[in-house]
Structure 1
Amino acid sequence: MDQLPPLLDLLEENHSKAFIVLKDGRIAIEQYFGMFTQDSVWYWASAGKSLTSVLVGIAQQEGLLDIQAASSTYLGTGWTNCTPAQEAAITVRHQLSMTTGLDDGVPDTDCTDPACLQYLADPGTRWSYYNAPYTRLDGVISGASGQSINDFLLSHLTPGTGIGGLYLPVGYNNIFFSKPRMMARFGLLMLAQGTWNGDAILADENYYNAMITPSQALNPAYGYLWWLNGQSAFMLPGSQLVFPGTLMPNEP
């Protein structure tokens, strides 16, 4: 514990707001900085993508959607600026794996208007970290379930786990906001392979395993909206280069 004060100082110097360490499912360290408290709310940024991936998996296990189905099954036709055949080839799985083939070279990569979602390559042949097709997964969940993504979370994830929060629109994006302990709970859920206190929340083992293993050969360091460390190669957002080695060599 002698090393804890310097660590907390480092976190504060780097403008951290909350720091939680869990051990055996219990809070071992919990520290807040500045005006931020246990009840303060903050945004998950792109970590919210991983939460969305879990919600898609729950929707599939409930029989509400099939990730191999065309995204237009749930979004309706005309959600892109592609030809009907090009659009019909894009599946929910392509959205999860960042391989829709839609052009990430548009001026605004957050724009979800159909005019912004333009064909560049056949789905599954090009990996690019592109926000807009991911954001449209909110519409996939809504179209499949008849619920908003917030209502779906509150009815399918919160009751079993206590994980709460809200997706809120920020420009074109839908950003997840919650209290810090909600993210800690989500981490526990994932470490327990989708179970909570012995209850299966994400019961589809095939989906869970696919989510946290390489989803395609183009970028082995990416699953279903999860970055994967320890792979043989990786790509980075905004680049088509493939780098040899693991994404973060000094991290788990």
Structure 2
Amino acid sequence: MVVADVGDSVTLRCFRPEEETSGSIIWYKQKIGHEPCTMATVDYEPIWDNQFKSPRFSIKKEERGFHLNIANIEPSDEAMYYCSLMKFSPVYGKGTFLTVKGNEDVKVSVWQSDVSDTVPAGASVTLQCSVLSERRTAELQVLWFRAAPPQSHPQIIYTHHNSSHQCESGSSTHTCVYNFTKNIHSLSDTGTYYCAVALCGKVTFGNGTQVQLDVKTLTDQCFSKNKLQFVSVFLV
């Protein structure tokens, strides 16, 4: 994650793998809750998509490097940025989330439920997130991220809509509770789940809830499945 103030300049780095000597480099921008859009395709010189044809955006090339520079940062620049190598199929980098600090200091607190117990394979777990803010819920954007090895950055997995929470309002604050239910089928569903709030160019993360898989139930399921396959083959 990169944090910048309005008016700053940032450089987001992208390197071509050492073993690759050909193929276009493509930069993408993905705003929260939206699909990715192509910013520029770089071969010898960058070819910019129409909406990014601005002096604020430039590509700095160096040996194996195709770095994206964004000058005079605006709140609308807040997004996840990816670069990819395009050959027969695209190979994506892990991405960088650019957070833009707004001029308005709005207090937001995010609290998550405690660390989860181990979950049996095939069961579901419901994670709870409480958001206390000085703004009404309609102005908040609440998301869930998941981080797990070998990923170095959390990935967005869910965005809440207006009907997916319960709220209480006081004289100056608003408290909303958001629930997220996930089926845990395998180790790829485990990791640390973060609730986050995007507001006024700022993203506030919760403390994270760790979800672990009960390896014994997974082993038992695999043993039972293999046993059934063995019996089936023996009967034939």
More strand, by proportion: 2
Identify, as 1 or 2, the structure richer in helix: 1
Q: Same fold (TM over 0.5)?
A: no
TM-score category, normalised to shorter length:
under 0.3
Q: Which has the larger radius of gyration?
A: 2
TM-score (norm 1): 0.21
